[in-house]
């Protein structure tokens, strides 16, 4: 009897069945996500455990990623790390985002006028991701690693974005990530956070008042798209020794003003009505 030709069963949404190429791609991307969140690299065992994959599968995918330079193995430490090709792809994404290109000269001006480190964040899956930074010249300064993630409810830029999301979007983010405490000053209940977001909308800028790290303050404001929705958060950060109470209104107005200039440069618009 002649054999039937081997076929691949596809689901209605176009994904291949278990064992197909899409599953392999999903697993490889999962490995890359885990690696990207580790600053020093990971062992095969730890990487497999965090990614939820068998070590043999993890090693096979890592070998393929290594051949394409998306991952690298450091023989001296026996750790797997993100490869140079991942940086090249990520850098291409950054170049393609007009907000980064357009915002950078404004960010530099904000750094010069404030004397503090300036950051640009995007919201992704309910977290704030740093996509650009201009470091200040102070010996003591705040540094956020580009590509790093932070919870939005204790981030100045994150709260600036949260304040202008639809209430249903805010609720989904809170349900997904919760309100974990980072310091004693973290707003850790929905009622306290919503009250604070109301103040953000009223004054035009958000504050991280030692809510993420003791001794660190952050002032943030939203950058809006053409629909009047927040597309990014601009912030400056520094030690409380320099960002004292009397500087907060001045820095807040400065950040909000420059965020407004970036909004205009990108063809965005400020919201025309009060929210919630």
Q: What pLDDT was estimated at residue 39?
A: 76
pLDDT at 37: 83
Confidence check: pLDDT of 6 > 50: no
pLDDT of 4 = 37
Query: CA 92, CA 182: separation in Å to the nearest integer?
Result: 33
User: Once rounded to an integer, what is the mean pLDDT over residues 201-205?
Assistant: 95
pTM of the full predicted structure?
A: 0.67
Give residue 182's pLDDT: 94
Which residue would you say has higher pLDDT here, 220 or 96?
220
Q: In this structure, which CATH number among 3.40.50.300, 3.60.70.12, 3.30.450.40, 3.10.20.600 belongs to the domain 97-265?
A: 3.30.450.40
User: 21-83: what CATH class?
Assistant: mainly alpha
Domain residue ranges of the chain, discontinuous segments joined by +: 21-83, 97-265
In terms of C-beta distances under 8 Å and separation of at least 24 residues, what long-range contacts does 28-36 make, across chains too? Answer: 28/61, 28/64, 28/65, 31/58, 31/61, 31/62, 31/65, 31/71, 32/65, 32/70, 32/71, 32/82, 32/86, 35/71, 35/80, 35/81, 35/82, 36/82, 36/86, 36/147
- In the structure encoding, which two tokens stand for residue 39, read together? 């600053």
């Amino acid at each position: 009897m002649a054999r039937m030709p081997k076929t691949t069963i596809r689901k209605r949404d176009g994904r291949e069945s278990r064992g197909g190429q899409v599953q392999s791609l999903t697993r490889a991307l999962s490995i890359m996500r885990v690696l990207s969140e580790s600053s020093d690299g990971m062992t095969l065992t730890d990487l497999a455990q965090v990614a939820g994959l068998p070590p043999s599968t993890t090693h096979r995918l890592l070998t393929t990623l290594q051949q394409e330079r998306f991952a690298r193995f450091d023989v001296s430490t026996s750790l797997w790390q993100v490869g140079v090709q991942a940086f090249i792809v990520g850098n291409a994404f950054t170049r393609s985002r007009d907000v980064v290109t357009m915002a950078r000269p404004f960010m530099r001006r904000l750094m010069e006028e404030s004397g503090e480190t300036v950051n640009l964040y995007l919201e992704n899956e309910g977290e704030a991701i740093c996509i650009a930074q201009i470091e200040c010249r102070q010996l003591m300064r705040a540094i956020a690693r580009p590509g790093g993630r932070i919870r939005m409810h204790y981030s100045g830029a994150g709260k600036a974005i949260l304040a202008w999301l639809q209430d249903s979007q805010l609720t989904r983010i809170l349900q997904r990530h919760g309100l974990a405490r980072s310091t004693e000053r973290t707003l850790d209940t929905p009622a306290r956070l919503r009250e604070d977001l109301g103040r953000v909308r009223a004054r035009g800028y958000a504050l991280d008042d030692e809510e993420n790290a003791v001794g660190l303050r952050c002032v943030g404001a939203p950058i809006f798209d053409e629909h009047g929705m927040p597309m990014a958060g601009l912030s400056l950060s520094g030690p409380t020794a320099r960002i004292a109470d009397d500087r907060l209104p001045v820095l807040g107005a400065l950040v909000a003003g420059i965020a407004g200039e970036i909004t205009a440069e990108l063809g965005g618009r400020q919201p025309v009505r009060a929210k919630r």
